[in-house]
């Protein structure tokens, strides 16, 4: 009984079991390791500043890229509002713990950086 004896429909219905590799464990524990690494207040603050500056750069480049590609401003604004709404809805799904969760704080920093980047671009256009 070889591979040819299995019907194609039966082969697709067989449950796939993936290997539990060291890489998969490492990726699965990345959030916990980052949380443990950021226990130090200086590390946590530097992580917040890095996320804030990266999203500030992304926010300030949205207007530049849409202008260079000759895209319509309402479409760029719509995409930005959709990104913000997704970020707000993601934040609402996390329950409020007694101590602040690192992922929630990083999401807040990303929202602030994106907002400041877009506001700076808006002031440049005035």
3-class SS string, 54-109? HHHHHHHHHHHHHHHCCCCHHHHHHHHHHHHHHHHHHHHHCCCCCCCCHHHHHHHH
Residues 23-31 have a mean pLDDT of 78
55 vs 19 pLDDT, higher one: 55
Question: Residue 1 above 70 pLDDT?
Answer: no
pTM of the model: 0.69
- Give residue 52's pLDDT: 95
Among 27-31, 51-55, 100-104, top mean pLDDT goes to 51-55
Residues 64-87 have a mean pLDDT of 78
- % of the chain beyond a pLDDT of 90: 16
- Vertex 57, ends 52 and 61: CA angle to 5°? 145
């Amino acid at each position: 009984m070889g591979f040819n004896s299995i019907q194609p429909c039966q082969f697709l219905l067989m449950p796939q079991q993936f290997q539990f590799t060291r890489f998969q464990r490492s990726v699965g524990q990345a959030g916990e390791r980052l949380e443990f690494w950021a226990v130090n207040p200086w590390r946590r603050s530097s992580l917040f500043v890095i996320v804030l500056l990266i999203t500030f750069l992304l926010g300030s480049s949205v207007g530049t890229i849409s202008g260079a590609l000759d895209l319509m401003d309402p479409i760029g604004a719509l995409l930005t509002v959709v990104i913000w709404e997704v970020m707000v809805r993601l934040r609402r799904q996390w329950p409020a713990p007694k101590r602040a969760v690192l992922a929630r704080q990083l999401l807040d920093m990303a929202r602030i950086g994106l907002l400041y980047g877009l506001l700076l671009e808006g002031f440049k256009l005035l």
